[in-house]
Structure 1
Amino acid sequence: MSDTLAGHYKSILELIGEDTSREGLRDTPARAAKAMQYLCKGYGDSLAEIVNNAIFESDTEEMVVVKDIELYSLCEHHLLPFIGRCHIAYIPNGKVLGLSKFARIVDMFARRAQIQENLTKEIAEAVEQVTGAYGVGVIIEAKHLCMMARGVEKQNSSMMSSVMLGSIRTNPATRTEFLTLVKMNK
């Protein structure tokens, strides 16, 4: 697959008027193919493999928040990166998830071509699925190169998206607690 992808990158470079035999571009198609495969490696991951049984019994029912998980993804409309951070909260229902697994879940879904709104929903649903939590909240803040480097070229724009499930969605006090905790230390 890598050779086929590299061939397509070579064709793209030639179609935009580049000389793919010049020194600076000679190996670019292969490097670009390798980079794209890395940026989209989430397609080869599964939630079960990522979680790897790192779910532990716990009697805590207080909100757990993991903030500022960096993410890198690709806009499905232009195949340009969007870069940001993800905040995840959940209210355990007898089980807690190993801390590193939150970052791994974010990476698994972020390493695919998509829109930010869907990424936010996929992460929230995955956390809910593996933990059986009473409630889950996810907020993503990101800067999109499709908006910054082309089109309207707005350098200071960013996008926020949120998904709240269960008690974080339905209970106003719990929702406020989540939003307050995400804002802390900013």
Structure 2
Amino acid sequence: MADFPSKVNTQTSSPKSHQTGSRLQGLAANVTTVIDLSFIQSIPAILMMVEIFLGLVHWGLIAATPYMKEPVYGWVMFVAITLWLLTITLFFLNLFSAQRYLPAVPWSKMVMVYHSVATGIYILAFLPNAITVNSFGSQSVQQHMAAAAFFGAIVAVAYGASAVMSYLHLRGDGGNAATSTVPT
């Protein structure tokens, strides 16, 4: 047999594009580990997506009309857009697992308080919306406002359901172990 060296030294090189591709693949892997994909399939996430979608429809219907004829619609628009933006922010905080990075924040309580307050504020915006539907002369504007009142009520119910789900989650997580044990 021919003498074969005991140590072989080989070097390989790759073009720059392959190195960039592997960096991007590594970045994509890091991003997917940050995103909590199980959150998207949970009931609270589905309720938040419903709140976001129906909230957009709600304020979109009002914005498509001459809502400035009634001063109360300024309040309705403020509530609808503000809660819509805050819900989107809260959704992404949950999606990217912000609770891991900010452990000092009592997330369960904060989410429950947010949804409870949002329910109350949305009801306070829905009522004037529903009461003033007939104050517009045009029937098409009245139909827009009636549809906006309907979607406002549905969004308020969705926020209420989220508040209840948050309360049940808080009660399940924050229970006192001393009160739940029974001596035998």
**TM-score computed with the length of structure 2 as normaliser:** 0.28
**Counting strand residues as a fraction of each chain, which structure ranks higher?**
1
**TM-score computed with the length of structure 1 as normaliser:** 0.28
Bigger relative contact order, structure 1 or 2 (CA pairs below 8 A, ≥6 apart): 2
Larger Rg: 2
**Counting helix residues as a fraction of each chain, which structure ranks higher?**
2
